[in-house]
Amino acid sequence: MLRIHNDEMAVTIGKSIVKQYPDSDAAKEVQKTLPEIERRYTEASEKSRLDRLWLYQVSPMAGGTQSTAAIDSSKPAGNDSIKLILRRHTEWGLNVFLYGSKPGFVCKGNCTINAEIDGKPTRIKAYAPQGGEPALMIREDKGFIKTLEKAGKISMDVTLVETDKKETLVFETAGFDPSKWQELPKGKKK
């Protein structure tokens, strides 16, 4: 398994040998390399999981083309998840926003989101769009993206209209790959 670079199977078989034949020469040999192989496999599995949380798309949208990078919240999850979306649009420029289900978020005019980035408290300025979409637009798009590129986890406290109570959104952002978030043609507004 090591020769074909299948760490998952190497760990599985190695653990089985150690468990079934703990005093054997084979178990002693396996125990020399098993911890390192298991560490490598665990790290690669976690990196792959984090990478798969992001969805990247380029598509036509309302008078232009948009390129998006989106991630669903890991808390709340499932049908209650909220999306964090990074968008480049040929006409609208650069936007970062939270997108949920109707009726959306409580935010009158401008609002401040209490947040944590890798456990460090911060505040994020946002506003609700005028079109009635269930979204919160982040004010400092470029700064937020720069921070996101280095962050492992971002938590944001928001208030949802339908429950009128604070909800903590958690985004596991460590898998963000800027190279997969496609640039749009030059000469257009960014």
Question: pLDDT digit string (tens) for 99-111?
Answer: 998 888 999 889 9
| 31 and 89 assigned to the same domain | no
| 15 and 44 assigned to the same domain | yes
Interval 66-87 mean pLDDT: 95
Q: What is the CATH number of the domain that holds 151?
A: 2.60.40.1880
Instruction: Identify the domain containing residue 129 by its residue range.
Output: 54-180
Between CA 87 and CA 65 the distance in angstroms is: 10
| 33 and 94 assigned to the same domain | no
Is 170 within 8 Å of 153 (Cβ atoms)? Answer: yes
pLDDT band at 119 (very low <50, low <70, confident <90, very high): very high
Contacting residues for 40 by C-beta, under 8 A, at least 6 apart: 7
Burial group, residue 126, by CB count within 10 angstroms (0-12, 13-18, 19+): buried
| 145 and 164 assigned to the same domain | yes
Q: Look at residue 2 and tell me if it is in a domain.
A: no
Per-residue pLDDT for 75 more than 60? yes
Q: Tokens 């959104």 map to which residue? A: 169
Between CA 176 and CA 54 the distance in angstroms is: 7
| 22 and 61 assigned to the same domain | no
Between CA 173 and CA 43 the distance in angstroms is: 16
Q: Look at residue 190 and tell me if it is in a domain.
A: no
Per-residue pLDDT for 131 more than 90? no
Q: Look at residue 150 and tell me if it is in a domain.
A: yes
Per-residue pLDDT for 190 more than 70? no
C-alpha dihedral sign at 161, 165, 166, 167: negative
Q: pLDDT tens digit string along 26-36?
A: 999 999 999 99
| 128 and 73 assigned to the same domain | yes
Q: Look at residue 122 and tell me if it is in a domain.
A: yes
Instruction: Please give the tally of structural domains in the chain.
Output: 2
